[in-house]
Chains A and B, each alone.
Chain A
């Protein structure tokens, strides 16, 4: 069966510090991978998606970047965090190549920027 792991689960970072969130998927190959952000009490905003190694599409201009160094690894990074980067970050994967299929989410990483 397929599983998705995301870490760290919680982190508190000062403004201006770097960020690295990691996500790995097991039990499948060549999945579509996604990073979403959820502000407190809000919906899910798509940040990045990837259809393969080294292929990243950015949905929203921002202070963040994503990379996919391996087929089942997806990393969200920032060189200098802003207060507005606080939120709940969710990694997800999908079989569907059209970006419209069922999503399987990781458990999320809760980021607080102080």
Chain B
């Protein structure tokens, strides 16, 4: 069945450094979504990408959807302590076209 993997599983950065997490699907996706889950909290929707090669920005966050619609990335410029949490991608595709969550990347930011 469809699998969505994320790398790295964990990233520790100094405040001010950049951060990137990558999402890879075994099947072509109709869309990709990104969520952020603060420690002890629940996932919160960040953005959805639909088009091949699409790039969207939210302040210091840049989201990309690959040309083949099988991968995506989230890049954070100049991380802040408020960026701490787990970032999940979620993709819809494959035979069932249901939303499958990635394994998540836990970001730790040291002040």
Chain A interface residues (CB < 8 Å from chain B): 41-46, 90, 98-108
Contact = CB atoms under 8 A, between A and B. Distances in A.
Query: What are the nearest 3 A-B pairs in CB distance?
Result: A100-B92, A44-B101, A105-B42
B88 interface: yes
Q: Mostly helix, strand, loop or mixed at chain B's interface? A: strand
Q: Mostly helix, strand, loop or mixed at chain A's interface? A: loop
Interface residues of B, number: 21
Contact of B99 (A41, A42, A103, A108): A103
A100 B99 contact: yes
A2 B50 CA distance: 25
Contact of B42 (A42, A43, A98, A108): A108
Nearest to B33: A102
A3 B98 CA distance: 24
Contact of B31 (A90, A100, A103, A107): A100
A11 to B, nearest CB: 16
Interface string B24-68: 000000110101000001111100100000000000000000000
Contacts of A106: 42
A44 B103 CA distance: 8
